[in-house]
Amino acid sequence: MRNFAAATTALLFLALTAGALPKVSRVGKYLYDENGNRFFIKGIAYQTQGTVISGPDNPLNQPSTFVDNLADETACLRDIPILQQLSVNSIRAYSANSSLNHDSCMQALSSAGIYVILDLTLPLNGSIDTTLPAWSTNILDQYLRTIDAFAKYDNVLAYNIGNEVITPSATQSAPFIVAAARDIRAYLNSISSSALVGYAAIDGPSSFVVNEANFLACSASAEIDLFGLNNYEWCGNASTTTYNTVNTEFANYGVAAYFSEFGSENCAPLTRVWTEVPVMFSEPMTNVWSGGMAFSYFSDISKGANFGMATVSADNTTIVTNADFANLAAMYKAVTFVATPAQGTAPTPTLPTCPKSNPPGWNASTTLPQTPDDAACGCLESALSCLFSPPTPNYMDLVGELIGVACGLVATAGGTCDDISSDGVAGTYGRLAMCDPTIKLSYVMSQYFELNHYVNVACSFDGNGTVNANAPTGILATAAASSCIPSATVFTPSAPPVLIPGTGAKSSSNSNSGSGNSPGGTTSSGMPAIIISRGLLTGMTAAVGCVIGGMIRTLCW
């Protein structure tokens, strides 16, 4: 066994070093490999569909669970020969669990010449939200953990920082996506990763798509490298003019673009013929686009159609492919990549101009939120008088609900939730908007507790809150925030705290913190050094609680 393990390790090492896939980088609007060849994405989505658990918490009926396909060695080794029948050079995976091992699958994909575009998002609360967006420590750290888990592989082509987050009817998340691109790019640079920063966009009216694409690419050093459009406009044996509009829209786009999903269902003929493939991989499309990801390898039922091309047997051991698969394989095999323009003659990159807020179809500020700062938020949390104590392991729904409840109560007592709120249309970001939702909730709970003169019941929230016995005496939550939270800063995030296995809790070391912005005067224990005397505190509290509070008189002394 010992020798076998050693041999395997040696082989893996050899393969990792000797057979490395060429790095792919973006030059202006095109992709090139390190040998100077123009690179196109000829790929397929490779993600088992999660289970949709319907309910009031899931209005969009999004998958609530996910399978980490890149951690499933057996399935991966089963599928790679089938992917090779398609002659793909890339796959797109939509979620990965950073605490699992991906060596075997990633290595085998690399050996098969297959790159991976990996979405950093997870179902439910593991993504920037469409309508209540925040770029906060929990999402940043999740993204960084996934990057850390994949940084050693040579075949990660790009990390997607979001999929269909910005929608035609809700564009306020756009500044948060750009902030994510900015911080993830800075992190990738800091670990010398050449992986591209991507985003996969929902299709929509021209005014929306163009503004969105430009918005995501217009801020130097926060621009994405790879704009993915989930494009399903080609249906069946469509006319070759089908893509004329989208070609015109992206003709002068400043960064690389591709179809992050394509392959419409329920068309005539019903079996997909993939006649878009030869169009996508020849001029004039290749002047604008860098290929696409056909949707989907695994069964994926959406809008009454199954987009899957491979059916897995009940015991997971064998695969049956369908006619869509055979047609796609024939089309993909016939593709020859266009070589032009040569890398040396690629047009000089020019980033687009940022769309102004409020043109038709666009409504987002170019003022970006700051880099989420774990250390500053942790400093604040340790000084709060009342802490959210999760009653169940899955508490993110409850946190959202309780923030609403607590903000309502604080408002009744004359306070506000401005510190934890943000507005991507106005470009205003509360100083705690970047913190983990549980810390935001504890902050609001603490304010309510203070406003009620620390009567224990005011920290209970029906058993969801606990008095923080370790909090320094006499510090108002707002004062702790002033002490701990630096004014909005942008910095290169560092590796996130390690997750303590099985608990979702974090170890205390190695947190993200802005360099040179150490929160005004912290003690060695991380506690804010501003201590307000109890007398002053109670005076202030009384003023807030009682002057405003004719209506909450019973809560006053």
Q: Mind telling me the catalytic residues?
A: 164, 261
Of the listed pieces 106-114, 118-126, 345-353, 370-378, which binds ligand NAG according to CB under 6 A? Answer: 118-126
457 binds ligand NAG (CB under 6 A): no
Instruction: Spell out where 344-491 has E strands.
Output: 386-388, 422-423, 428-429, 465-467
What is the CA angle 475-479-483, rounded to 5? 110
Both tokens of residue 139?
């999402």
b/e per residue, 519-540, with b = 16+ CB within 10 A?
beebeeebbbebbbeeeebbee
For the bound state, the minimum distance from the C-beta of residue 310 to ligand NAG, rounded and expressed in Å, comes to: 12
Distance CA 119, CA 92 (A): 8
Token pair 């996130």 in the structure block, residue: 496
User: Applying CB under 6 A, what is the total number of residues that bind ligand NAG?
Assistant: 32
Give the CA-trace dihedral at 435, 437, 441, 442, to 10 degrees.
-60
For the bound state, the minimum distance from the C-beta of residue 331 to ligand NAG, rounded and expressed in Å, comes to: 9
Both tokens of residue 103?
């060596």
Of the listed pieces 208-216, 335-343, 462-470, 516-524, which binds ligand NAG according to CB under 6 A? Answer: 462-470
Q: Which of 374, 309, 332 is nearest to 526 (CA)?
A: 374
CA atoms within 13 A on the CB side of 15: 19
Q: Which of 106, 109, 90 is nearest to 41 (CA)?
A: 90
In the chain, the N- to C-terminal Cα span, in Å, equals 73
393 binds ligand NAG (CB under 6 A): no
For the bound state, the minimum distance from the C-beta of residue 389 to ligand NAG, rounded and expressed in Å, comes to: 8
Among residues 464 and 522, whose Cβ is nearest to ligand NAG?
464
Distance CA 475, CA 530 (A): 8
Distance CA 519, CA 522 (A): 6
Of the listed pieces 3-11, 78-86, 181-189, 389-397, which binds ligand NAG according to CB under 6 A? Answer: 389-397
Token pair 């490999």 in the structure block, residue: 33
Both tokens of residue 71?
């951690």
* 424-443 positions binding ligand NAG, by CB under 6 A: 425, 437
Distance CA 473, CA 537 (A): 10
Cite the DSSP H helix spans in 472-520: 477-484
Of the listed pieces 7-15, 157-165, 394-402, 473-481, which binds ligand NAG according to CB under 6 A? Answer: 394-402
122 binds ligand NAG (CB under 6 A): yes
Of the residues 207, 287, 311, 363, which one makes contact with ligand NAG according to CB under 6 A: 363
Of the listed pieces 94-102, 199-207, 285-293, 342-350, which binds ligand NAG according to CB under 6 A? Answer: 94-102
Among residues 116 and 224, whose Cβ is nearest to ligand NAG?
116
Both tokens of residue 191?
């670990």
Distance CA 38, CA 388 (A): 52
Q: Which of 292, 291, 295, 330 is nearest to 310 (CA)?
A: 295
DSSP state of 363: -
Of the listed pieces 185-193, 208-216, 269-277, 489-497, which binds ligand NAG according to CB under 6 A? Answer: 269-277
Among residues 67 and 409, whose Cβ is nearest to ligand NAG?
67
For the bound state, the minimum distance from the C-beta of residue 543 to ligand NAG, rounded and expressed in Å, comes to: 29
Site string for ligand NAG, 125-154 (x = CB under 6 A): x-----------------------------
296 binds ligand NAG (CB under 6 A): no
Among residues 278 and 526, whose Cβ is nearest to ligand NAG?
278
Distance CA 81, CA 295 (A): 18
Among residues 165 and 273, whose Cβ is nearest to ligand NAG?
273
346 binds ligand NAG (CB under 6 A): no
Token pair 């809700």 in the structure block, residue: 170
Of the listed pieces 84-92, 112-120, 258-266, 268-276, which binds ligand NAG according to CB under 6 A? Answer: 268-276
For the bound state, the minimum distance from the C-beta of residue 129 to ligand NAG, rounded and expressed in Å, comes to: 6
100 binds ligand NAG (CB under 6 A): yes
Are 78 and 317 spatial neighbours (Cβ–Cβ below 8 Å)?
A: yes
Give the chain's radius of gyration (CA, Å). 26
Among residues 38 and 102, whose Cβ is nearest to ligand NAG?
102
Q: Which of 550, 538, 384, 551 is nearest to 451 (CA)?
A: 538
* 25-84 positions binding ligand NAG, by CB under 6 A: 48, 57, 67
Among residues 323 and 339, whose Cβ is nearest to ligand NAG?
323
- Bridge partners, residue 292, by sequence: 42, 259
Among residues 255 and 402, whose Cβ is nearest to ligand NAG?
402
173 binds ligand NAG (CB under 6 A): no
For the bound state, the minimum distance from the C-beta of residue 395 to ligand NAG, rounded and expressed in Å, comes to: 8
**Position closest to ligand NAG via CB:** 400
For the bound state, the minimum distance from the C-beta of residue 278 to ligand NAG, rounded and expressed in Å, comes to: 9
Residues that bind ligand NAG (CB under 6 A): 48, 57, 67, 97, 99-100, 122, 124-125, 237, 269, 273, 275, 315-316, 358, 363, 391, 396-402, 405, 425, 437, 462-464, 502
